[in-house]
Structure 1
Amino acid sequence: MSEVVNQSTAILLPEAEVAVYTHDPQVLEAYKALASDWRFARVDLKAAEGDVELAISTYTQYASPDVIIVQTDTIDSSFTERLAALAQNCDEGTSAIVIGPENDVNLYRSLIDMGVSDYLVRPVETPVLAEVIAKTLVEKKGVSGSTLIAVNGAKGGVGASLLSEGLACGVADILKKKTVLMDAAGGWSSLGVGLGYEPSTTLTEAVKAAESEKPDNLKRMMHDVSENLQVLATGGDVMLEQGVGADELEVLINMLLAKSPVVIVDLSHAPEALQKVVLARANLILLVSTPTLPALRLARTLISEVKDIRGGGEDDALKLVVNMQGVSPAHEVSKNDISDAVGISVSGFFPFLPKVFLGCESSGKKLTDDKEALALIEDNLLKLVKPFISSSSNSVEAGTEKSSGFMSGLLGKISKGS
């Protein structure tokens, strides 16, 4: 009965425990596939071959999870009675999802009225199951995920790395958000110059640390820039050898997101496969270009490709920032014409100020320590990220009637009928 919903669920889901009870191999396979979905990195997914009776006996002895999924072959009064028995054994706040055999609107409404979070009809595909569970957890626990921000350049030399540094410093020092900055370029990374550190590890070693599921190993690879900002001190990779794969990078990003409210990834010199995997899942994308025709032409193409990998259509999370305005006025596209040239509005302009930006980078000085650079970062970057950070990184109340759990809903229904 539920449709796939992507709004508000494309986040790293909060820590939770979910358990499914089913005899159907297809349902079990669809459920187990959730383990490869990055949103479920902090969700403990348990599965049991059984039905509502096994669930009842299990939670007679053990605490119930945040969400219980029960598959049944028949939906009648006898199942509803057993569902009520299950509710009596569950902790307050436990949510329930039922998977059944019939597509019946009245049945769906009846179950929802009883307190069940959702009703799905077999066969259940993984994307549908993922969205329903994600929606249930968001309603139950609120949005407490982390924000992934991708910074990419339309071409080399547009200043994307420097702006990613400025953004990270601004989010950490001005917005006071714990932030991790990483460069997906491997040995081509130049973050160490601008942030004053020598690369102490490689992306390959960082991925190994993430795959070992030992956060302390990854913690030792971090360079502390300020109280709220850490940078993954990679850059020691061999420049002319193949680096990590897209799947490996996702493992690393998942661990960083699990530990930090904001993760910023500089993609400006990263291999195409790594760019694609980060751009597909980022909460916010900042695409940096200069106002010159070659850069804007590439920006237009990249904008189209990014929209395609993110499902097509308009994307409010994709922002264009024009850097080095005034570097060569006679050869630049005018401000009024840039939006028409690339197909989206320009979200921010940075003037060409080499003494400020290149001066800070060359001396290892944070951009937020320069008054002029700080003002530009606040006006052009922080105003863009604030809505995404506040909606993805800060908790919100989840006190809706539906998220109160199915125990109260079912028992309330029984009481009314008695």
Structure 2
Amino acid sequence: MESTLTAETDALGPQDRQQIDKVRPIPRISVQAFCETEAVAKPIERVGSDRRMSKAHLKVQMGGIRAASEHFQSAPTPNLVILESKLPPVDLLTELELLADVCDPGSKVVIIGHYNDVPLYRDLIHRGISEYLVAPVSVGDVMTVIGELFVAEGAEPLGRSIAFVGAKGGVGSSTIAHNVAWSISKLFSTDVVLADLDLAFGTANINFDQDPAQGIAEALQSAERIDDVYLDRLLAQCAEHLSLLAAPSVLDRTYDFEGDAFNALIETAQRGAPAVLLDVPHLWNEWTRTVLARADQVVITAVPDLANLRNAKNLVDTLTKMRPNDTPPFLLLNQLAMPKRPEISAAEFAEPLGLEPLGEIQFDPAIFGNAANSGRMIAETDAKHASVAVFNHVAHALTGRGEAKRAKKPSLLGRLRKKP
């Protein structure tokens, strides 16, 4: 049975998603909204549940400008006040005078009105109002305004964080993450950071034939002082545009982390590379939950059997609730057509998830085994293997770059017309 939250997520339009997708994470600020209608209150409440607002605190109350004025007589004003008013322009300006007496000078104010009036907009901006929006407003509208007000002008763009996780252990999520990272770096000549988050049993160092002395463990131990320079020293160069943050893959200690342990590391990596791929182990604890919740995109790899279907359904439902304003996770089906193994068809597997598989990879232990044992990617082992086309397709989809179309040969008639 579909939850209410899932239904609301489906209602979020493509334009709204595009707006939200451009907003950088919001810093630690406080926001209070005073609304007069549910139609305005609901999208603002939904903004508060967005992963980009994880550091911010947002509270929505009903009552409009007058309720805000009464509230702030005995309470400090937050960093941002959002006010809805259905009053006509003259009455709106009069009521704002009441707020001016109790509002701290450092607070920013956004007005959501019901009159599309250019002179009103100019008057409000002249009086120090940060922005004026005309109802109805969308989640994207509110997120964009908050981002514009509190993200530093000229700030460098952040790379996209893409988390790969398996629906079950041994489904090949790490192998796919490594090969997709390779494809992105080769296809687009763009810098990619691959972070192996499985500190105890990670295989990225083996798959890329690397043995770095330092890696992700050192980055986590020095989280309070991690910056671009320090991170560069920890990265192992796998190819011209591909760097690896390797896991120690030793059992001399346990690796227990707080929920936000990886946040600083991932944000630092995003400032230095357009694509940051996160190889997330098949665990469910506070830190893996947080990494998946805050990633820009999530890719679930599954094998077509019943246990994978159950786990994938749980993951999709949980991530949809945690990420109400984001696109659903992507689904990759791996190890298809394994001899003598009963399996669920791709269509039957995807139907209860409500997803179309982004890619399907056939079972081929020889090519994948040879690549792993030699520390090479599939494209290096056999550039014409069918899985390489899948990795390239996934690379295009995750980076938002359309696949190059083959030029059509001109018809005979077309060639004759071109002749002088």
The answer, yes or no, to whether TM exceeds 0.5 is yes
Is the counterpart of residue 365 in structure 1 residue 376 in structure 2?
yes
CA distance in structure 2 between the partners assigned to 1:270 and 1:261 by the alignment: 27
Change (3 A) 1:310 1:69: closer
Q: Residue deviations 1:45-67, cap 9 Å, x none?
A: xxxxxxxxxxxxxxxxxxxxxxx
Matches within 5 A, 1:321-332: 321-332=332-343
Highest relative contact order (Cα 8 Å, sep 6+), 1 or 2? 1
Change (3 A) 1:38 1:198: farther
2:180 touches 2:394 (CA, 8 Å); kept in 1? no
2:164 touches 2:279 (CA, 8 Å); kept in 1? yes
Instruction: State the shift of 1:252 in Å.
Output: 0.8
Instruction: State the shift of 1:177 in Å.
Output: 1.8
1:211 touches 1:252 (CA, 8 Å); kept in 2? no
Q: Which residue identity does 2:109 align to in structure 1?
A: I
Instruction: State the shift of 1:199 in Å.
Output: 4.7
TM-score by length of 1: 0.64
1:221 touches 1:232 (CA, 8 Å); kept in 2? yes
TM-score by length of 2: 0.64
1:151 touches 1:286 (CA, 8 Å); kept in 2? yes
Matches within 5 A, 1:68-147: 76=93, 99=109, 104-106=113-115, 110-112=119-121, 116=125, 118-119=131-132, 131-134=144-147, 144-147=157-160
Bigger mean CA deviation after superposition, 283-292 or 147-156: 283-292
Is the counterpart of residue 347 in structure 1 residue 358 in structure 2?
yes
Is the counterpart of residue 380 in structure 1 residue 390 in structure 2?
yes
Is the counterpart of residue 274 in structure 1 residue 282 in structure 2?
no
Name 1:399's counterpart in structure 2: none
2:24 touches 2:147 (CA, 8 Å); kept in 1? yes
SS in 2 for 1:247: coil
CA distance in structure 2 between the partners assigned to 1:317 and 1:143 by the alignment: 27
Is the counterpart of residue 389 in structure 1 residue 402 in structure 2?
no
CA distance in structure 1 between the partners assigned to 2:252 and 2:133 by the alignment: 50
Instruction: State the shift of 1:210 in Å.
Output: 4.2
1:206 touches 1:252 (CA, 8 Å); kept in 2? yes
Gaps of 5+ in 1: 28-36, 42-67, 81-96, 122-126, 392-418
Name 2:179's counterpart in structure 1: 166
Instruction: State the shift of 1:180 in Å.
Output: 0.3
- RMSD over equivalenced CA pairs, Å: 4.7
Q: Which residue identity does 1:333 align to in structure 2?
A: I
Instruction: State the shift of 1:359 in Å.
Output: 1.0
Name 1:338's counterpart in structure 2: 349
SS in 1 for 2:162: strand
CA distance in structure 2 between the partners assigned to 1:135 and 1:387 by the alignment: 28
2:208 touches 2:376 (CA, 8 Å); kept in 1? yes
The count of aligned residue pairs is 328
Matches within 5 A, 1:19-58: none
Instruction: State the shift of 1:263 in Å.
Output: 0.3
Q: Which residue identity does 1:380 align to in structure 2?
A: V
Q: Residue deviations 1:345-376, cap 9 Å, x none?
A: 22211011111112111110122213357652
Bigger mean CA deviation after superposition, 343-352 or 140-149: 140-149
CA distance in structure 1 between the partners assigned to 2:343 and 2:81 by the alignment: 61
1:151 touches 1:267 (CA, 8 Å); kept in 2? yes
Change (3 A) 1:389 1:8: farther
Matches within 5 A, 1:217-366: 217-236=230-249, 238=251, 241-311=254-324, 316-366=327-377
Instruction: State the shift of 1:246 in Å.
Output: 2.3
CA distance in structure 2 between the partners assigned to 1:335 and 1:208 by the alignment: 42
1:283 touches 1:388 (CA, 8 Å); kept in 2? no
Change (3 A) 1:273 1:110: farther
